[in-house]
């Protein structure tokens, strides 16, 4: 009796050989000059860095699914998970009766329903029954970092960067009581005394400061809004030639910072576009950001007042310095009039909740400079974990080859939605299939999971520290990335 499984494997193998135009004993491939060193992951196909060659695949940017209603009454701030209280905590700016703006804290058990705890730290309106932080007031756009309970300097476990006549920093042992650094500002507001409407006005840090700890370079990374002149045309709210662009700065100690450098400028083909920075994050060995795109010269509703619109795009980097912008809308505003995010949708923090990403975004109803009291909310959009971009194949199948990489663990998982199946094989640096790791040895991967385990007959461990090319054959599948792990560290 014919074994249909064996026939399918035979057809698959023939298909692979036809695509690549080589037999098993064909000539060895050219070894790339630079071997890619992988981490324990995730290793994402969000850019082309881990793709040496592909056939029959298309790149898809996945938009997160929005919650239909706002989840908080103001735009979101920094969101972190506190292990001690088993709560999600959001640091954000809140209106204050005296200082106009103050930093406040919200908490949540599930990342969706938020409430204001009574902190009892700052008096406002004759009472301390509020959620205001004991932190610099009257400032804008703070960034908060938690170094964790084991951080050596307990008094500086929590770090805050904010804008006040330049970039300033403050420190706290608990995330609620902050002490200003005496040497503020650590970066001055203006690089020179040139007025903002003159051509020499550039590299001036402005009022959006967001950042993270960079585990790859062991330093702090801040992305900021930079103001400069010299562009054609006049945006709605500023002078001729003025633009907001994206800059970055880094520090080893959170006190001494590099001079900000511009990393993303507007595309001349896109009219009067500007940027409001982005929140950076590091996933595996790739830097990812949610770029805030602004068009201050456009109306949210056709024929309506010109108050500006905005949306979010993805940016990536492999060295933390050179960034690539993908001009597809990752999160767009809602085009339906009256929706709470009708004018703008700017992604902020993203946190893991199980196999999902909760992405919080600033939602504006009417426009950039309007509705400061009631028209600015927090929205929630949900995405699969590390599900920003996939490489997809239909029923005819497709192949993806990585560069020569250094295998980083005993076992391998893939983040994929395999509606039919996927197989993986390993090829050594000389172009020869590794024994026991061929297509026919691989157990088919099927189903939808962010961590499918990849196994071969006999369940061999990966040849750790060996150089290999990883090859994926996928059919009716969305492939997002792969990961490694050690048996002793596996968490089911």
- Per-residue pLDDT of 381-402, as tens digits, reads 999 999 999 999 999 999 999 9
What is the distance between the alpha carbons of residues 453 and 409, in angstroms, rounded to a whole number? 13
Alpha-carbon distance 445 to 449, whole Å? 10
Helical spans, DSSP H, in 163-310 = none
Helices then strands, counting H and E runs in the chain, come out as 1, 29
Q: What pLDDT sits at residue 194?
A: 56
pLDDT digits (tens, 9 = 90+) for 362-382: 999 998 877 665 578 999 999
Domains along the sequence of the chain with CATH = 4-62+391-489 (2.60.120), 65-384 (2.115.10.20)
Look at residue 462 in the predicted model and tell me its pLDDT: 94
**Residue 220: pLDDT above 60?**
yes
Q: What is the Cα Rg of the chain in Å?
A: 25
- List Cα–Cα distances, 158 to 120, 151, 291, 349, in angstroms: 19, 10, 25, 17
Q: Report pLDDT for 1.
A: 41
Q: What is the pLDDT, as a whole number, of residue 231? A: 85
pLDDT digits (tens, 9 = 90+) for 246-288: 999 999 999 999 989 999 999 888 989 999 999 999 999 999 9
Output the pLDDT for position 201. Answer: 58
pLDDT for position 41: 79
What pLDDT digit, counting tens, does each position of 155-177 carry? 999 999 998 888 999 999 999 99
**Which of these, 426, 445, 444, lies nearest to 435 by C-alpha position?**
426
Higher model confidence: residue 204 or residue 85? 85
């Amino acid at each position: 009796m014919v074994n249909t499984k064996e026939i399918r494997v035979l057809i698959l193998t023939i298909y692979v050989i036809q695509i690549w135009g080589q037999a098993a004993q064909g000539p060895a491939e050219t070894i790339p000059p630079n071997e890619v060193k992988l981490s324990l992951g995730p290793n994402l196909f969000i850019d082309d860095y881990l793709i040496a060659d592909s056939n029959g695949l298309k790149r898809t940017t996945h938009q997160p699914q929005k919650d239909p209603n706002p989840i908080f009454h103001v735009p979101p701030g920094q969101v972190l998970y506190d292990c001690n209280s088993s709560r999600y905590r959001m640091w954000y700016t809140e209106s204050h009766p005296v200082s106009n703006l103050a930093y406040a804290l919200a908490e949540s058990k599930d990342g969706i329903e938020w409430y204001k705890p009574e902190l009892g730290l700052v008096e406002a309106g004759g009472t301390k029954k509020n959620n205001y932080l004991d932190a610099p007031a009257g400032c804008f756009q703070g960034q908060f970092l938690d170094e964790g309970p084991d951080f050596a300097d307990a008094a500086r476990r929590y770090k805050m960067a904010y804008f006040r006549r330049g970039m300033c920093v403050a420190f706290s042992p608990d995330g609620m009581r902050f002490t200003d650094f005496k040497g503020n500002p650590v970066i001055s507001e203006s690089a020179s005394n040139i007025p903002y409407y003159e051509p020499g006005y550039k590299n001036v840090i402005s009022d959006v400061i967001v950042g993270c700890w960079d585990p790859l370079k062991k330093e702090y990374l801040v992305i900021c809004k930079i103001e400069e002149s010299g562009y054609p045309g006049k945006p709605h709210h500023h002078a001729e030639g003025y633009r907001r662009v994206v800059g970055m700065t880094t520090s080893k100690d959170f006190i001494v910072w590099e001079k900000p450098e511009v990393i993303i400028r507007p595309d001349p083909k896109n009219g009067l576009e500007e940027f409001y920075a982005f929140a950076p994050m590091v996933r595996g060995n790739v830097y990812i950001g949610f770029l805030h795109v602004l068009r201050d010269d456009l109306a949210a509703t056709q024929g309506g007042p010109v108050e500006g619109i905005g949306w979010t795009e993805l940016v990536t980097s492999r060295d933390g310095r050179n960034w690539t912008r993908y001009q597809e809308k990752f999160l767009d505003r809602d085009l339906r009039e009256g929706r709470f995010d009708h004018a703008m949708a700017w992604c902020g923090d993203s946190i893991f909740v199980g196999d999902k990403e909760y992405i919080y975004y600033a939602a504006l109803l009417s426009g950039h400079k309007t509705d400061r009291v009631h028209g600015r909310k927090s929205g929630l959009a949900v995405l699969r974990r590390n599900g920003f971009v996939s490489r997809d194949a239909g029923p005819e199948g497709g192949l993806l080859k990585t560069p020569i990489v250094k295998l980083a663990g005993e076992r391998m998982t893939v983040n994929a939605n395999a509606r039919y199946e996927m197989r993986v094989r390993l090829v050594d640096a000389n172009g020869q299939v590794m024994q026991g790791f061929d297509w026919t040895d691989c157990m088919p991967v099927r189903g939808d999971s962010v961590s499918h385990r990849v196994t071969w007959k006999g369940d061999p461990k990966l040849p750790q520290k060996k150089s290999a090319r990883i090859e994926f054959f996928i059919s009716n599948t969305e492939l997002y990335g792969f990961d490694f792990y050690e048996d002793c560290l596996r968490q089911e």
